[in-house]
Amino acid sequence: MSAVIAGFPDHAVLTEVGPRDGLQSEPIFVPTSEKIALIQALLDAGLRRFEITSFVSPKAVPQMRDAAEVLAAFRDREDAHLTALVPNMRGAEAAIEAGVDAMVLFASASESHNLKNVNRSRTASLKGFADVARLAEGTGVRLQGAIATAFGCPFEGEVDARAVVDQARAYVDLGMDYITLGDTTGMATPALVVKRVQALRPVLGKSTTLALHFHNTRGVGLACAYAGLGQGITHYESSIGGLGGCPFVPRATGNVATEDLAYMLMESGVETGTDLDRLIRAAQLAERIVGRELPGQVMKAGPRLKTASMDSVRTANG
């Protein structure tokens, strides 16, 4: 591993969101057995934190209709932390019954996207979260908060930083100690990442973990993660092969690829506990499962020092 870049943390924790955020918008249902095989490959590559599914209406997101079955396959893995996205009380009840380690509650920083994404106002979403928090009391299931469109909205444009800060504060008041800033639309920039992190520090303090979740819509997903490292952020969400894209955002493209992010971190001296070769194989498996080329780059090129024989490339003439 390379020497740590000055100012960077020496380790980072990756949460794999491919089984949920990556597959949710796939038009053809991915069989439960193939989802399970993909998650097992990711476990074999050293990943231990997963947003493994979502307990949403099958009518709204048909791809997630097997949420309980997928979770059941890994519920006994004591070395894995399994979270699921829940939009409402019905989803929370199902997630608790299925045995999740934590429920991810999500709302958008912009009103218009929240209406499109969950068909509720931001105020209604936050009120519903208070009900979910009461439901979770005494169950051992923790709550995590996600702020979608934290860096920009496809319908409103710029998102006021105060809306992001206020939402984070509401999450803290509900007892959440893990909050993710979601770049749902791929509108984040490195400079904006720095501004958001610095604005949130007084609200979150040292007891709350801040995670960053980037999409590569405009090609700067890894640059945004690099900016987060410079701010000392150690938790990142990514999707194997670059799978994904919000189905309720126009022109949305995939998440930052897990293997690309892991490669950048490793080459920056930041330990992730993952095996890059196995991550590449998992990305190739994901590509076979969805039946098309995925946008991940390291899965195509391999590690930096992967060599080839001279006979494999033609010699220039002339």
Checking DSSP bridges between strand 13-16 and strand 49-54, what pairing results, if any? parallel
Question: What does 180-200 look like in DSSP terms, one character per residue?
Answer: EEE-TTS---HHHHHHHHHHH
**Cβ-proximal residues to 4 (8 Å cutoff; 6+ apart), any chain:** 10, 268, 269, 270
Rounded CA-CA distance 75/55 in Å is 15
Tokens of 133: 């928090």
**Known catalytic membership, residue 246:** yes
Question: What does 69-86 look like in DSSP terms, one character per residue?
Answer: HHHHTTTT-TT-EEEEEE
Catalytic residue among 104, 246, 262, 283: 246
Rounded CA-CA distance 15/237 in Å is 5
Helix and strand counts by DSSP (H, E) for the chain: 11, 8
Checking DSSP bridges between strand 142-148 and strand 178-182, what pairing results, if any? parallel
Which residues does the annotation mark as catalytic?
Answer: 246
